[in-house]
Chains A and B, each alone.
Chain A
Amino acid sequence: MKVKLFYFAKIREAIGVDREELDLANDIKTVSDLIEVLKGRGSHWQDMFSMSSSFRMAVNQEMVEATHKISTNDEVAFFPPIAFFPPITGG
């Protein structure tokens, strides 16, 4: 199963990758399974994906939970929690 992966902001910088395509094994069914694969790459990957509070994910540009099932040709993105807060734009 082929998927496109995108990484943004702090995560992108930490792992040094902004996008990639992966051909996943048949036993990878959910985003959670995919995260385990990424953590297996070690060092920065392990650091970035160990704490569920430090990242969010989207499949085909919709925010999802880690239990979300992935399908072939899905676009999966990982990024930090969305970061605006009032003092920035005078709001």
Chain B
Amino acid sequence: MTEQRKLTMVQAINLALMQEMERDDDVLVLGEDIGVDGGVFRVTDGLLAKFGEQRVIDTPLAEGAIVGMAIGMAIYGLKPVPEIQFSGFSFQAFHQIENHAARYRARTRGRYHIQMVVRMPYGGGVRALEHHSESEEAYYAHTPGLKIVIPSSPRSARALLVSAIRDPDTVIFFEPKALYHAVKEEVPVAEETWPIGKARVVREGRNLTLVAYGAMLHRCLEVAERVRAEDGAEVEVVDLLSISPMDTETIAVSARKTGRVVVAHEAQRSFGVGAEVIARVVETAFLQLSAPVRRVTAFDIVYPGFARERGWLPGPDRVLRAVRETLSF
């Protein structure tokens, strides 16, 4: 049997970085406080001691230059993994990502491409200040040329980060910070990759499809369990893992089977990932639907501060209500 280690998501991401940097000398990490300090969440702990300051780069405080410099490194042929300390600060680098990282391959017809993973903690639930608790995936998912990955567990974080580092395109890797230390999971020590662009059915069911990702996935699994116990209904749960490219096929197969779909995410509702999921459900499973497709999301208001965050973010109760209403429609 292959050796397993019980790791938190932080440790699992650290393992992925360690192993990829050992395997490939062109992989390097850069960002604010990621070297000596090991990152504000300790994700890059130990990398500096092992790989030195040429490959583990403590940068001055400027997100645009961190990502812009990484783009130059990638043009040269290195495989940089810049960290943005919190996704709320990634807008300071958004022009580098949208204007350049996403377009270089197309603009130069493949002469250059940006093999880069921009890692950033995202999402709420850790009682943090404004700009430290939001979910920004939709801004990036709208951009052709980018891949958007959001793991939901230590094992998926490790396997997907390895895939992302080896992916020849730019990957925006959102790490649900609420899950950094929340759960431990067995992670194989030997290298493991999961394909980017594939969702996973993490729980099978025939009555309703619940689509989620990141920290929301766990609230949805909780709800699925409760619905079975209390209502006797079987909820299928799909973990998207990759926001873009989106695995339409897995969503469609499940939606055709159950005829009822609820999609849940932490980000605000309008123009979000949930809307895209619904569009694809309607395009691929319209005639099999027995109920309107519902979104369970944060409200379209500005982050209200962590004292009110529990009411803003969709908790299990809100998901449960939407699931029950959809089941009984």
Query: Do A and B form a real pair?
Result: no
Q: Show the binding face of B for A, using Cβ within 8 Å.
A: none
Q: Show the binding face of A for B, using Cβ within 8 Å.
A: none
